[in-house]
Amino acid sequence: MTKLIKLLHDDNPEVRRWTANVIGKYAEQGQTNEKALPALIDLLHDKNTEVRWWTVFAILIYAEQGQTKEKALPALIELLHDKNTEVRMLTVFAIGKYATQGKTKEYALPALIELLQDKDPEVRRWTAYAIGLYAMFEIIDEDALSILMELLHDDNPEVRRWTANAIGKYAEQGMIEEDALPALIELLHDKDPKVREEAVWAIGNYTEQGMIEEEALPALIELLQDKYPEVRIWTAYAIGLYAMFEIVDEDALSILMELLHYENPEVKRLAVFAIGYYALQGKVKEKAVPKLIELLDDENPQVKVYAITALGHIATNTDLNLEQAFELVREQIGEVSDSFETKLPLISALGRFAYSGYAIKNALEFILDDFFDSDEETQEASIYALSNLAYEGVTDAYNIDILEKYVEEIDGDVDRWFFLTMVNLAYLECDNQRIYDLAKSLEISEPTLLKAAGLASAASIVTLDKYGIPLLKELLKEEDDIKNHTIKGISELTHKNLNRKEINTKIEEILGDENVIHVENITIKRPTVVHLDGFVKTNAKEEIIDCLNECCLDVKTDKTTKREILKAYRTMAKNAGIGYRSSVTTMDKMLDRGELKEEIVHTLNTFKEENIVKERVIEGLLEKMVRVK
């Protein structure tokens, strides 16, 4: 190799050319020499075109082997203006390879943008490739995005492919262009499968940024059955993201269920991922549960993780029977590894199952193991799970120890589930004074509105005394967001069969007539509509119901909130015998729209069981439901 390196300086250009060729070929076989790169970099300015080309080739191969030199990049950037097309093409490809090794220069971008309009399609292709890689390092430019949009219509399929890829990478960095989305949707019908793959991947990234075109869904559903697995993989991903934004389709869900039996593990993995978001929207049917249960034994750990996540979403967003799934998820506690990829979703699922009444008593040790060594996301999921487990009666003093230590060690705002955990422990009268002292030690700050809710709930439930009541009164004078969450905290008071008469008196004292009368002005949010039977004045109940009815009929209200409101109707009916004809009328109108049919039937049956509203009215609406089906 030493003799070869010396030949790079030979006077004969043919010798230099073939030497660079041989050094590159050796590198392809894994045989490199650290002294070769500096000598090759010097040759990038050679007058001979063939020497420059083979030199770039050798430097490119060295980069593929993970060997780069900082001074090579400026010299390569200069070659982007080379008169020879082949040199420009290989140089831009080499710059892309350097980017894969984390070697980039911001000043390279203007030259790359210029090459997007090169006459040669291979130059345009690899330039789009390199610009996409630069975007991964946050080196982006609006001018580049504008030209990339034009290249989506390029005659060359490889140019279209890497252009769509670059636009997708720009979207990952938050730089999106509204006009790009229709062009990407057109590419879903491209003859080239690689173009379709990159287009649907880019559409997924646009969806993550909140830019969605509902008209694309039929084309996406069609691509779920594409001949090429790579296309199906990213289509399932995109359809899952659409579901996250409540854009769902029964045909899509049926095909996703079929893909669970597909041999390709990535197709299966992202199909389960998408089904999880359908479950989040309450769209997964009972027949899907056994199939998801089967996947708990899948060889691919990520398939198993997404199946657990989907079952957790089903637990919190449907009324399906999950006893079997619950038992199998419980078994996963002893089998799952401590890695972030598997432990976090399982903890989240345990919390969701507990929220739905499936409490796993032996989950505490698993959840709390290495709690303070976990990342922030896992800690938040653990606090959420602890909250719901405590609510279901699974608790011990160690929970309070964890909470106290958590307050000492966290940097920044306390997560809202932390406060719900305190509240739920308070329900169980678990060392109430200790919980109250912990709540009082935390200051209410403007950026943490939910902190007020937690403090209000903990203080009111634990004490309902001269300390808690003044605090709640002060919170009710705050801005709407704090007031909203405070009222939610107050509404929690009756949920665990506390002394209703005493609680009613205290609530009236806390709220006062003015706050009760104007309750309809409070913005309805998901945390607010749960357990509204805590409001006890008859006139206030009617106003609250009117507010909820209006919220259900408002086209701007999302389905998740409507589902929570229907759940609140059922809770009030069961716990307090409260129900109104106006709510039945509201459900009738929702039925006419074809909204949440299964949830409405469940709610009507609850009204019927609790003898709320005349039976003939309920029967008439249920008969109408049958006719609609």
Q: Which CATH superfamily is domain 212-328 in?
A: Leucine-rich Repeat Variant (1.25.10.10)
Position 79 scores a pLDDT of: 92
Q: d(Cα 18, Cα 13) in Å, to the nearest integer? A: 9
C-alpha closest to that of 277 among 249, 244, 255: 244
> What is the b/e burial string over 229-257, where b = at least 16 CB atoms within 10 angstroms of the residue's CB?
ebbbbbbbbbbbbbbbeebbbeebbebbb
Given a contact cutoff of 8 angstroms between Cβ atoms, the answer to whether 328 and 335 are in contact is no
SS3 102: coil
Q: What is the per-residue pLDDT across 417-456, written as a single tens digit (0 to 9) for each?
A: 555 555 555 545 555 566 556 655 655 444 444 454 455 4
Given a contact cutoff of 8 angstroms between Cβ atoms, the answer to whether 244 and 256 are in contact is no
- Per the listing, tokens 């399906």 go with 320
% the chain with pLDDT above 90: 28
Position 297 scores a pLDDT of: 82
Position 285 scores a pLDDT of: 79
Ranges of H-type helices in 518-614: 538-553, 559-576, 581-593, 597-609
Cα 448 vs. chain centroid, distance in angstroms? 22
Q: d(Cα 110, Cα 143) in Å, to the nearest integer? A: 9
Q: d(Cα 267, Cα 286) in Å, to the nearest integer? A: 22
Position 496 scores a pLDDT of: 41
Q: What token pair was written down for 134?
A: 């630069």
Burial of 376 (0-12, 13-18, 19+ CB in 10 A): exposed
Segments of the chain scoring below 70 in pLDDT: 330, 332-342, 360-362, 390-404, 406-544, 547, 575-578, 624-629
CB atoms within 10 A of CB 16: 22
Q: d(Cα 502, Cα 508) in Å, to the nearest integer? A: 10
Q: What is the per-residue pLDDT across 340-387, written as a single tens digit (0 to 9) for each?
A: 466 787 888 887 887 777 776 667 777 777 777 777 778 778 877 877
Q: d(Cα 407, Cα 322) in Å, to the nearest integer? A: 35
Q: Where are the domains of the chain?
A: 212-328, 549-629
Position 130 scores a pLDDT of: 94
Position 513 scores a pLDDT of: 44
C-alpha closest to that of 473 among 462, 495, 449, 489: 489
Q: What is the per-residue pLDDT across 78-118, written as a single tens digit (0 to 9) for each?
A: 999 999 999 999 999 999 998 988 888 888 899 999 999 99
φ, ψ of residue 403 to 5 degrees: the values are -60, -45
Q: d(Cα 257, Cα 295) in Å, to the nearest integer? A: 12
Given a contact cutoff of 8 angstroms between Cβ atoms, the answer to whether 151 and 159 are in contact is yes
pTM: 0.66
Position 53 scores a pLDDT of: 94
φ, ψ of residue 349 to 5 degrees: the values are -65, -40
C-alpha closest to that of 22 among 12, 35, 8: 8
